[in-house]
Amino acid sequence: MTALSPATLDALPAEVRRPGYDRTAVQAGIVHFGLGNFSRAHQAMYVDELLEQGGGQEWGICGVGLMPRDAAMRDALQATDGLYTLVLKHPDGTLEPRVIGSVVDYLYAPDDPQRVIDRLADPGTRIVSLTVTEGGYNVHPVTGEFDLGNAAVAADLTGAHQPTTVFGLVAAGLKLRRERGIEPFTVMSCDNIPHNGDVARRMFSAFATALDPELGAWMGEHVAFPNCMVDRITPATTDDDRAEVRERWGIEDPWPVVAEPFTQWVLEDDFPLGRPELDRVGVQLVEDVTPYELMKLRLLNASHQGLCYFGYLAGYRLVHDVCSDPLFADFLLAYMTEEATPTLPPVPGVDLADYRTTLIERFSNAQVRDTVARLCAESSDRIPKWLVPVIRENLASGGPVELSAAIVASWARYAEGVDEQGEPIEVVDQLADQLVPIARSQVEGDDPDVFVRNEQLFGDLASQERFLTAYRWALSSLHGHGARATLEALMAERPRPSRPVEGPHQPAVRSRSSR
């Protein structure tokens, strides 16, 4: 057994790719907040690749963690001097193990916030990147503005102690740079949010303005916030993943990461202090990321929501099991083709029919073992940003909303917190305390539409007749017949591309038109 470290790299089996570059010469020009599974499988892999190709020595990554769980990442990376194993899992079972070397430092902010601020103020820091989740941007659910009422944010705004939030730390770093006459770094959001750079700009600027209006104005003038689209399905690391790395390659790695082979990064090229030559390693640099992000968020991410609640209620726990079921694959393809795609602009260089088929193949990769639970979590951050816009556009254009409405209904049913066998569901959502009682009251109370009357999440959808009719039908079918039968009814009159015409499943409820 080899404990992963710079000293043991040469002892790893030949099939494990490892850094061939001199890590001691790599400087951390990127500070990354939220160094979790995804950024280690994606951004850090691209930088590692560039380093392999002899470029990017000034673009190593310093991870920063803020949350209690990040102490474990600190410990893991401390043990390996920042190294970790990325295992790409091909559908045919082929594994590509690779040790990533681009993370050259890690700071756990609660240990020493000033060290983080000093690193941000250091002229060598030229990009601050983020994967702090959708919820990490502190957007007020009703106003859409920065939520100044958030307790941690409000505490940071008093300036009475060292900051604890990403907003407080970034603002403190920028303040020092401004005072010292150092140009600001670029802030690069890599979260799954439409116009993630624009959202980051609004939120970070709002915090800075509330702290110090002059700082806010300086930021508005000088800080760049490029938008980007990022893609690589990266499940949470499990103990089985750790054991696999240990047993197959003899590597003792406290926190490896597994991911699918597919990867994509489309990035707006707005980096006043420069950037790594990411275009050398496959990143698409574009003027406007909009068509790419709409494609990805409305096809991939919204389909994840389309499969997770129905899938969970039908008894599935792994994503590939859901998507290997032809009924579910057909449902997702129908949602993507009939409802999501018509809302998309043309995407340069992309055949959307191929993209949709590839998504089903990616979701069906049995080796990745992505979980339905990961996709069901924090739905209140996801459905309003990925699916509700599809519904709105179709309502406005006269397009169909039946399948999207059924996805919303499946969330409403799932949020009741009890499955079809009467077993409890653990609803993981920052709004769970509100949502679960509301969802339960749709069964017990006298308003079956109560869940979608939540304007915070759905705006005025509940007053849109076409949406409401489809939603009511789907919710009632979910209650009366269950998830599988509801999908069968929805799909009964549609072409079924991914299963034989005489398939094994017969619709268990009446078809939509005979209702």
Ligand X SMILES: O=P(O)(O)OC[C@@H](O)[C@@H](O)[C@H](O)[C@H](O)CO
Ligand Y SMILES: NC(=O)c1ccc[n+]([C@@H]2O[C@H](COP(=O)([O-])OP(=O)(O)OC[C@H]3O[C@@H](n4cnc5c(N)ncnc54)[C@H](O)[C@@H]3O)[C@@H](O)[C@H]2O)c1
Say if residues 259 and 240 touch (Cβ distance below 8 Å).
no
If binding is defined by CB under 6 A, does position 402 make contact with ligand X? no
Binding segment toward ligand X, per CB under 6 A, in 76-84, 228-236, 322-330, 474-482 = 228-236
Nearer to ligand X, 107 or 387 (CB): 387
Choose among ligand X, ligand Y, none what residue 37 binds, the Cβ cut-off being 5 to 8 Å by kind. ligand Y
If binding is defined by CB under 6 A, does position 180 make contact with ligand Y? no
If binding is defined by CB under 6 A, does position 231 make contact with ligand X? yes
Say if residues 128 and 35 touch (Cβ distance below 8 Å).
no
H or E element, residue 286: strand 284-286
If binding is defined by CB under 6 A, does position 131 make contact with ligand Y? yes
As given in the structure block, the two tokens for residue 28 are 């951390």
What is the closest distance, in whole angstroms, from the C-beta atom of residue 259 to ligand X in the complex?
Answer: 9
Which of 98, 232, 298, 413 contacts ligand X by CB under 6 A? 232
CA angle 13, 17, 21 (to 5 degrees): 120
Cβ-based neighbour number of residue 272 at 10 Å? 13
Rounded CA separation 51/57 (Å):
6
Which of 233, 313, 405, 489 contacts ligand X by CB under 6 A? 233
As separate numbers, helices (DSSP H) first and strands (DSSP E) second, the chain gives 22, 13
Binding segment toward ligand Y, per CB under 6 A, in 33-41, 103-111, 308-316, 339-347 = 33-41
Site string for ligand X, 129-158 (x = CB under 6 A): -----x------------------------
Choose among ligand X, ligand Y, none what residue 69 binds, the Cβ cut-off being 5 to 8 Å by kind. ligand Y
If binding is defined by CB under 6 A, does position 256 make contact with ligand Y? no
What is the closest distance, in whole angstroms, from the C-beta atom of residue 138 to ligand Y in the complex?
Answer: 7
Which of 129, 138, 165, 192 contacts ligand X by CB under 6 A? 192
Radius of gyration in angstroms for the set of CA atoms belonging to the chain, rounded to a whole number: 24
Rounded CA separation 381/121 (Å):
31
Which of 375, 383, 457, 483 contacts ligand X by CB under 6 A? 375
Choose among ligand X, ligand Y, none what residue 375 binds, the Cβ cut-off being 5 to 8 Å by kind. ligand X
If binding is defined by CB under 6 A, does position 192 make contact with ligand Y? yes
Going by the DSSP 8-state scheme, the letter that residue 123 receives in this structure is T
Count of chain residues binding ligand Y (CB under 6 A): 25
CA angle 238, 242, 243 (to 5 degrees): 110
Phi, psi of 117 (to 5 degrees): -60, -40
The 3-class secondary structure across 168-210, one letter per residue, is HHHHHHHHHHHHHCCCCCEEEECCCCCCHHHHHHHHHHHHHHH
Residue among 53, 65, 57, 162 nearest 117 (CA): 162
- 495: Cβ–Cβ under 8 A, 6 or more apart, which residues? none
Choose among ligand X, ligand Y, none what residue 451 binds, the Cβ cut-off being 5 to 8 Å by kind. none
Nearer to ligand Y, 18 or 232 (CB): 232
Choose among ligand Y, ligand X, none what residue 301 binds, the Cβ cut-off being 5 to 8 Å by kind. ligand X
Which of 201, 304, 392, 496 contacts ligand X by CB under 6 A? 304
Choose among ligand X, ligand Y, none what residue 34 binds, the Cβ cut-off being 5 to 8 Å by kind. ligand Y
If binding is defined by CB under 6 A, does position 70 make contact with ligand Y? yes
CA–chain centroid gap for 285, Å, is: 20
Rounded CA separation 485/11 (Å):
55
Task: Select the residue whose beta carbon is closest to ligand X and give its number.
Answer: 192
3-state secondary structure at position 495: coil
Residues that bind ligand Y (CB under 6 A): 33-39, 65-67, 69-70, 131-134, 136, 166, 191-192, 230-234
Residues that bind ligand X (CB under 6 A): 134, 192, 231-233, 300-301, 304, 375, 378, 382
